[in-house]
Amino acid sequence: MSEQRIVLAARPNGKPTGETFRYESFELGELQEGQVALESLYISVDPYMRGRMNDARSYSQPFEIDEPIHGGVVARVIESKSETLNSGDVVVGMLDWATKAVVDAKSVRKIDEQIAPISTALGVLGMTGMTAYFGLLDIGNPQPGETVVVSAAAGAVGSIVGQIAKIKGARVVGIAGSDEKLQHLKADLGFDEVINYKTEDIREALDRTCPDGIDVYFENVGGEIGDAVLDRLNPFARVPVCGAISGYNAQQDIGPRVQSKLIIARARMQGFLVGDYGKRFKEAAEQLGQWVSEGKLQYEETIFEGFDRVPDAFLGLFDGSNTGKLLVKVK
């Protein structure tokens, strides 16, 4: 029986569309020693994938035309020729967008299904949570009483950043794009102040919610929101730069000259990749898991049902419709 996979059909010019992707049938290969056959359970869609659709220099290789797109996947082992994994084990790894796959067992990691729902391995207990953990704590270094502003605060990373900042005793201001998301941030996640960037003047709203300036700005968005925040940084502020989703589909990158703003505030602005912290993943996983088990860290998931919805889920990243981690449940 043939399986299905999704390949990059064309490089998008601006925002991706359904024509960016193509479904293909393929036959699963024979298992070799040390390999496992996997059945996909959950597929993660993430903003960084948009950059890999461009044929341009970046921190990771571009996706190739007519080749499978790949990303974070939780899967179940359905056949094994490995001494380390058995049929029925649940694993996580960077895998093709496909219904099934044959991979080397060493390329995936077994999940403990007793700790939390398996989907969290792609979210709060996976790369998403670790991105928030290392970016905020290592670069942002929030101190008790400081003001932390988070853009895309209701998103997968931002919602975790805000909660960790609260755990560390900071005052947290979240920026999101709907009243429902603002209610979620305050009522469920404990944010102190919230801003609806779609209905409020962002500069006036920052003046209202950050009367004493901004000590840490966790940057997920860029664009006009980032410009407005940079004008309000306190001396020695820290700006971890996780993403700039407002410009991912832009055909021309236009932004402010930030040098003078950073000099005036003596601020530190630093981009980072979660992979830079690979040697400390165990530390982050243990701490995030402890906070979840103690009820200090809540998580939200937006789940699309069915392998045929993967492109729809990916496109949903750019219209701001999701709350928390965006996933596709395949099985």
Same domain, 81 and 215: no
pLDDT of residue 169: 98
Average pLDDT, the chain: 92
Do the beta carbons of residue 325 and residue 156 sit within 8 Å? Answer: yes
Q: Which DSSP letter does residue 20 get?
A: G
68-96 mean pLDDT: 96
pLDDT at 57 over 80: no
Q: What is the pTM of this model?
A: 0.85
pLDDT of residue 34: 97
Same domain, 43 and 113: yes
The upper half-sphere exposure of residue 37, i.e. CA atoms within 13 Å in the direction of its Cβ, equals 13
Q: Which DSSP letter does residue 31 get?
A: P
Same domain, 118 and 131: no
Residue environment code for 266-288, b if the CB has 16+ CB neighbours within 10 A, otherwise e: ebbbeeeebeebeeebeebbebb
pLDDT of residue 260: 84
pLDDT of residue 249: 46
Dump pLDDT digits (tens) for 2-34.
899 999 999 998 889 999 999 999 999 999 999
Same domain, 9 and 43: yes
In 3D space, the residue among 233, 231, 230, 198 whose CA is nearest the CA of residue 215 turns out to be 233
Torsion angle of C-alpha atoms 179, 163, 125, 309, degrees rounded to 10: 10
Same domain, 44 and 174: no
Q: How far apart are CA 90 and CA 77, in angstroms?
A: 6
141-155 mean pLDDT: 96
Residue that is written with structure tokens 């200090």 in the block: 296
Calculate Rg over the CA atoms of the chain.
20
Q: How far apart are CA 63 and CA 236, in angstroms?
A: 39
CA distances from 232 to 200, 261, 276 (A): 17, 9, 29
CA distances from 39 to 36, 44, 87, 99, 194 (A): 10, 15, 11, 6, 41
Percent over 90 (pLDDT), the chain: 77
pLDDT of residue 175: 97
Domain that holds residue 249: 127-275
pLDDT at 227 over 70: yes
Instruction: Tell me what percent of the chain is helix, strand and coil, each rounded to the nearest 5.
Output: 30, 30, 40
Classify residue 167: in a domain, yes or no: yes
Here the CATH number for the domain that contains residue 40 is: 3.90.180.10
Number of helical H runs and strand E runs in the chain: 9, 15
- Which of left, alpha, beta for 138 (phi over 0: left; psi -120 to 50: alpha)? alpha
pLDDT of residue 13: 87
Same domain, 184 and 115: no
Same domain, 12 and 50: yes
239: β partners: 269
Classify residue 21: in a domain, yes or no: yes
92-120 mean pLDDT: 94
Q: How far apart are CA 48 and CA 241, in angstroms?
A: 13
Single-letter code of the amino acid located at 328: V
Confidence class of residue 73 from pLDDT cuts 50, 70 and 90?
very high
Helix (H) or strand (E) holding 95: strand 90-96
**And the tokens for 234?**
């306190």
Do the beta carbons of residue 218 and residue 151 sit within 8 Å? Answer: yes
Classify residue 222: in a domain, yes or no: yes
Same domain, 195 and 324: no
Q: How far apart are CA 89 and CA 68, in angstroms?
A: 24
Here the CATH number for the domain that contains residue 160 is: 3.40.50.720
Dump pLDDT digits (tens) for 153-204.
999 999 999 999 999 999 999 999 999 999 999 999 999 999 999 999 999 9
> Domain total for the chain?
2
- Longest pairwise C-alpha distance within the chain: 64
pLDDT of residue 246: 46
Phi/psi of residue 48, nearest 5 degrees: -60, -25
pLDDT at 151 over 90: yes
Same domain, 151 and 230: yes
Helix (H) or strand (E) holding 91: strand 90-96
Q: How far apart are CA 215 and CA 239, in angstroms?
A: 8
Question: Which of 109-118, 275-284, 301-310 is modeled with the greatest confidence?
Answer: 301-310
